[in-house]
């Protein structure tokens, strides 16, 4: 059996995804790093769900064992949609896109890649969520589509972790908040006073959190310092 340890980054062409892929190249726990995105071969695009199954099938054919999967995708704004200031700004197309990329896509990713994790030994699936997806922490309102879609993602993570743990006792499935990172996703909203960090620093912090996770923490929601965030 090929015991090459694979680390997979989904969204590996984005700011934080690329930084995570670079950090993993020198990580002692992994022998090969695979980066998948809308521009990779095979392509993986959460707006096109069929690509998720195809990419997972390709991944299952790669020699070695998938020991780590990091989902570094996310949608906050584009040239058409920006975070809503209030309920009167709700737009169904905006909501559909936010849920497709922030919740449905990652859920389908879990459906297809969690079965690829080895049944024995430590493995980790981590998806990048956001603190604003915490219902308990919501004291400002607004950003409805982003908040709700990330809340949905957190629920998918909790449910997937329960199922994963039934057959893979040493596996970990978590949602992680990377903080405010200097990437195109957050730049328009990086107000003064926020702890905005470069992607390389954020990637190092995320990897430190992942390295310290235990099976007892599966299904949890943690920030870039490893501290638990309320759902």
What six digits make up the tokens of 85?
Answer: 């200031």
Q: How far apart are CA 38 and CA 19, in angstroms?
A: 17
Q: How confident is the model at residue 92 (pLDDT cuts 50, 70, 90)?
A: very high
**Residue 201 CB-density burial (10 A; 0-12 exposed, 13-18 middle, 19+ buried):** middle
Q: How confident is the model at residue 2 (pLDDT cuts 50, 70, 90)?
A: confident
For residues 1 and 198, the model is more confident at: 198
Domains of the chain: 5-223 (3.40.50.720)
**pLDDT for 182:** 84
Question: What's the pTM value of the predicted model, to 2 decimals?
Answer: 0.94
190 has pLDDT over 60 = no
Mean pLDDT confidence for 65-92 = 96
**pLDDT for 205:** 97
What six digits make up the tokens of 67?
Answer: 């020991």
Mean pLDDT confidence for 171-179 = 97
Mean pLDDT of the chain: 95
**pLDDT for 145:** 98
Beta strand residue intervals within 45-170, DSSP E? 65-71, 123-128
- Report DSSP state, residue 78: -
Q: What is the pLDDT of residues 128-168, one digit of tens each?
A: 999 999 999 999 999 999 999 999 999 999 999 999 999 99
| Tokens 């992680």, residue located | 176
Look at residues 74, 78, 180 and name the one whose alpha carbon lies nearest to residue 128. 74
Q: How far apart are CA 65 and CA 41, in angstroms?
A: 20
189 has pLDDT over 80 = no
Mean pLDDT confidence for 67-73 = 98
**pLDDT for 196:** 84
| Residues 179/129, Cβ–Cβ less than 8 Å | no
Task: Enumerate the β-bridge partners of residue 8.
Answer: 34, 69
């Amino acid at each position: 059996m090929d015991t090459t340890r694979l680390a997979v980054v989904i969204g590996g062409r984005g700011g934080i995804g690329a930084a995570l892929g670079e950090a993993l190249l020198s990580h002692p726990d992994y022998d090969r790093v695979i980066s998948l995105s809308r521009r990779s071969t095979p392509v993986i695009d959460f707006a096109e769900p069929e690509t998720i199954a195809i990419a997972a099938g390709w991944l299952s054919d790669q020699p070695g064992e998938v020991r780590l999967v990091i989902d570094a995708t996310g949608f906050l704004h584009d040239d058409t949609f920006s975070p809503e200031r209030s309920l009167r700004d709700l737009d169904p197309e905006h909501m559909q896109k936010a849920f497709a990329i922030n919740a449905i896509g990652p859920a389908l990713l879990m459906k297809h890649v969690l079965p690829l994790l080895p049944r024995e030994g430590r493995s980790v699936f981590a998806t990048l969520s956001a603190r604003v997806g915490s219902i308990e922490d919501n004291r400002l309102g607004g950003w409805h589509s982003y908040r709700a879609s990330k809340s949905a993602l957190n629920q998918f993570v909790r449910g997937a972790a329960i199922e994963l743990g039934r057959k893979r006792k040493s596996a970990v499935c978590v949602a992680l908040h990377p903080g405010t990172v200097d990437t195109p996703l957050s730049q328009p909203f990086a107000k003064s006073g926020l702890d905005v960090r470069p992607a390389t620093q954020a990637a190092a912090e995320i990897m430190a959190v992942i390295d310290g996770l235990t099976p007892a923490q599966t299904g949890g929601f943690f920030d870039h310092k490893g501290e638990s965030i309320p759902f």
